[in-house]
Chains A and B, each alone.
Chain A
């Protein structure tokens, strides 16, 4: 998953980014003003945007309106210091999906972020199921036929991303874009490594494929 944080308080942005990376394994980009934030949100395929309201250049509410007017459908979680009803209402009306009031709890922020990502992919349960595989997105664990499978962090992130869209073809570029921050091109040759690792741990034999490779198109998770 790839998340964009638009927040002018550098320390706050970095703390949130660190938490998202460490406890959810997300790739995180940070924009320090509204202009950069809007540009990045419009050009990169994010799974979630964390948006502060008091921003230089373009304020959060305007950024949100312009993003939505442009057709951007990425889930947006707003960080606000205001908790009056009117501003919350206008936020939600402008297209925000959820909000947390400052000073917030990082744990709560993470839980809300994960829930928004799940719902953005069409799931509301925190446990994703594909065939005999269960992926618990809150504890970042994977079970096959009820037994715990130990995956590396990157293997888990590839599997989770694929599991959000079972039966759909996901290109290697899309995987890279969503699993890495803006430096993703440096990692273009490593996806195959993670795919083969996953196959080794989750598949019994070649006849009973779980992760399918469609040459020239990408990967697909299907039983």
Chain B
């Protein structure tokens, strides 16, 4: 099975994002709660400090002496441990101290008017508030000097901690439950919204060489994100179908075309083997069989060449190419068809109006020209003339092959470049043609980004014009005598 699931990854991302959110929320909630509770606690501490300070009175019996009404001390703020306090007058005279006060210097040294801190006494966390310079409340006019009190009051902070912890627990549990629910929902929603994708996959699986039509489900074609995929698949299928059909046709044509040369070879060998013959007859028969083989070989070679050129035209096979003088390839092609032309007494007239170069494989160009020339010679009247012309304009180079043959009937024109098409079977076959030459030429020319045009009408000869993107064009040098 697949190791990567979009659904799982999406759900994981959603989970992580929501988890971060939860952690943040809990953090903020805890912070806010703790701050608020501590502020309230501090306010309460402040109240207690003031209450304690209010318990310091001047003695009515001993003027100027301060005493502390310890029986009026307020209730502890919490219930776990008793609150503790300490009162000094003018910073050094101890006036009162709660019974549980931890040691002589249990509390941090007094500095500043107001001081607040948290510390641990007897294993219980306390929060202490110290306020200095509190005037004694019941000071009278007769009091000789003003006395200022320093009151420290501490209360266990446990209730605050407990409350904060509870808030933390409730929020965390609640958020995690919501998180689970949201993940389950995301899973369901994702599955639901990914359904068009699996439906599209099903319809794609139904495509086969027997059924090329992709029937995308309505939901898929209406889904914005799937439209590019559907379009891509449709156009890919169209391309594949065309290539497939082309290959199948080629194979069918090839198999059909191979039957005749195979039938000839077979009949030659069978009639030779039919009864005992003289060694002279055997030799003749073997020569004939070899000729038949050569024709078969030529056909196979042409078919392979065509298949390669077409593959190449489709962009599948690039070769290292070099700059080629087109005129040179024309001359090489003329040499190649020399024998055929001589046999028919046909004269090939070559005129170059300019020198052209292009990046190509010289063998390819030579093959194109010789195919066109062979064709023209084949259809030329005996002792006729075939004209091979090279010319160019600003951008393109043109190579033209023209003959004075009977021309091509209009009905046949669209089929001329089809594979295995033959004009007049008797004439082409006798020169060894299999109707592949023009198809090969067209495929090669197209592979080089060129075009091949046919101008012909019965009675006015045939003109084949190959147009190629040439790299350099020079006017021919004019010899000055």
- The residues of A with any CB-CB pair to B shorter than 8 Å are 8-12, 15-16, 18-19, 22-23, 32-33, 54-57, 79, 81-82, 101-107
A106 touches B270 (CB 8 A): yes
Closest chain-A Cβ to B363's Cβ sits at a distance in Å of 30
B271 touches A18 (CB 8 A): yes
* Most chain B CB inside 10 Å of its own CB: which residue of A54, A57, A103, A105: A103
Q: B291-316 CB contact bits vs A (8 Å, 1 = yes)?
A: 11000000000000000000000000
Interface size of B as a range: 20 to 34
Contacts of B44 in A (CB 8 A): none
Q: B269-294 CB contact bits vs A (8 Å, 1 = yes)?
A: 01100110000000000001001100
Residue in contact with A81 in the complex, picked from B260, B268, B275, B426, CB distance below 8 Å: B260
**Complex Cα spacing A105 to B274, Å:** 12
9 contacts between A and B (CB under 8 A): A9-B260, A10-B430, A11-B264, A12-B263, A15-B268, A23-B275, A32-B426, A57-B426, A107-B270
The answer to whether B427 has its CB under 8 Å from any CB of chain A is: yes
Contacts of B262 in A (CB 8 A): 102-103
**Complex Cα spacing A12 to B429, Å:** 13
The answer to whether B62 has its CB under 8 Å from any CB of chain A is: no
Contacts of B259 in A (CB 8 A): 81, 101-103
B263 touches A104 (CB 8 A): yes
B429 touches A8 (CB 8 A): yes
**Complex Cα spacing A55 to B426, Å:** 7
B274 touches A19 (CB 8 A): yes
The answer to whether B146 has its CB under 8 Å from any CB of chain A is: no
Q: B239-276 CB contact bits vs A (8 Å, 1 = yes)?
A: 00000000000000000100110111111101100110
The answer to whether B425 has its CB under 8 Å from any CB of chain A is: yes
A8 touches B425 (CB 8 A): yes
Residue in contact with B424 in the complex, picked from A9, A12, A15, A56, CB distance below 8 Å: A56
A12 touches B264 (CB 8 A): yes
**Complex Cα spacing A19 to B275, Å:** 10
A11 touches B292 (CB 8 A): yes
Top-9 shortest CB links A-B = A103-B263, A56-B426, A15-B267, A102-B263, A106-B270, A81-B259, A103-B262, A102-B259, A56-B425
A81 touches B292 (CB 8 A): no
- The residues of B with any CB-CB pair to A shorter than 8 Å are 256, 259-260, 262-268, 270-271, 274-275, 288, 291-292, 424-427, 429-430
CB-based nearest B residue for A11:
B264
A23 touches B274 (CB 8 A): yes
B264 touches A8 (CB 8 A): no
Contacts of A81 in B (CB 8 A): 256, 259-260, 263
**Complex Cα spacing A180 to B427, Å:** 30
**Complex Cα spacing A81 to B261, Å:** 11
A105 touches B264 (CB 8 A): no
Closest chain-A Cβ to B74's Cβ sits at a distance in Å of 114
A8 touches B270 (CB 8 A): no
Closest chain-A Cβ to B101's Cβ sits at a distance in Å of 116
Closest chain-B Cβ to A194's Cβ sits at a distance in Å of 23
Contacts of A18 in B (CB 8 A): 271
CB-based nearest B residue for A103:
B263
CB-based nearest B residue for A100:
B263
B267 touches A8 (CB 8 A): no
A82 touches B275 (CB 8 A): no
CB-based nearest B residue for A10:
B430
**Complex Cα spacing A79 to B259, Å:** 11
Contacts of A107 in B (CB 8 A): 270
B270 touches A19 (CB 8 A): yes
Contacts of A102 in B (CB 8 A): 259-260, 262-263
CB-based nearest B residue for A80:
B259
Closest chain-B Cβ to A110's Cβ sits at a distance in Å of 9
**Complex Cα spacing A104 to B274, Å:** 15
**Complex Cα spacing A81 to B259, Å:** 6
- A103-B266 in contact given A8-B429, A9-B429, A81-B259 (Cβ < 8 Å): yes
**Complex Cα spacing A19 to B259, Å:** 20
Closest chain-B Cβ to A63's Cβ sits at a distance in Å of 14
Closest chain-A Cβ to B3's Cβ sits at a distance in Å of 49
Contacts of A9 in B (CB 8 A): 260, 263-264, 429
**Complex Cα spacing A32 to B426, Å:** 8
Residue in contact with A54 in the complex, picked from B266, B425, B427, CB distance below 8 Å: B425
